[in-house]
């Protein structure tokens, strides 16, 4: 049960590019910049992040064999630095989640392949701001 705080949501809005890390079954980490992520906070218990697969290669292969992901929210404009860990619970190319997000992205960034949406359940949030509390679990 992890719900983002209002301050975390504000920081997520401020970040244009964020690093998405995955790992293969042989424990090889992978990290890529992604530019499109949306929060779904409509569930009472958990928050979700939706990301779009446009050009994923190792990332999507990793998620299919190991659903664990990590990303961080930080830019010079954010109040904090949070690392979000989560688990991909759905990969879909149809339905309300897909139609909603692709509709919004199509307007903002036309021409993307928009192959599928990956729905990630947030499981943990850690502090990633430099200093003695770096790495500590927040939620």
Q: Would you say 42 or 76 has its CB closer to a copy of itself?
A: 76
Residue 92 touching a copy of itself (CB under 8 A): no
In whole angstroms, give the CA distance from residue 38 to residue 92: 15
Contact range with a copy of itself by CB under 8 A, out of 4-12, 40-48, 97-105, 126-134: 126-134
Question: Binding string to a copy of itself for residues 10 to 49, with x set by CB under 8 A, is what?
Answer: -------x-xxxxxxx-xxxxxxx-x--------------
Cα angle: 92, vertex 57, 118; to 5 degrees: 25
Q: Are 110 and 102 in contact (CB under 8 A)?
A: no
Residues 6+ apart with CB under 8 A from 20: 31, 32, 33, 34, 51, 59, 69, 70, 71
CB of 113 to a copy of itself, least distance (A): 9
Q: Would you say 26 or 107 has its CB closer to a copy of itself?
A: 26
Beta carbons within 10 angstroms of residue 71's beta carbon: 22
Contact range with a copy of itself by CB under 8 A, out of 39-47, 57-65, 88-96, 99-107: 57-65
Instruction: Give Cα 9 to chain centroid, integer Å.
Output: 12
Of 1, 57, 79, 89, the one binding a copy of itself (CB under 8 A) is 57
């Amino acid at each position: 049960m992890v719900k983002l705080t209002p301050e975390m949501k504000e920081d997520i809005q401020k970040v244009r590019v964020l690093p998405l890390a995955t790992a293969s079954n042989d424990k090889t980490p992978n990290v890529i910049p992604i530019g499109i992520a949306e929060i779904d906070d409509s569930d009472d218990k958990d928050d979700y992040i939706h990301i779009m697969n446009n050009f994923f290669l190792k990332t999507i292969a990793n998620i299919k064999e190991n659903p664990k992901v990590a990303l961080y929210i930080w830019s010079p404009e954010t109040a904090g630095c949070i690392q979000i860990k989560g688990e991909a619970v759905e990969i879909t190319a149809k339905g309300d989640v897909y139609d909603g997000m692709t509709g919004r992205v199509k307007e903002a960034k036309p021409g993307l392949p928009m192959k599928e949406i990956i729905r990630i359940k947030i499981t943990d949030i850690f502090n990633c701001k430099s200093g003695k509390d770096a790495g500590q679990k927040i939620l």
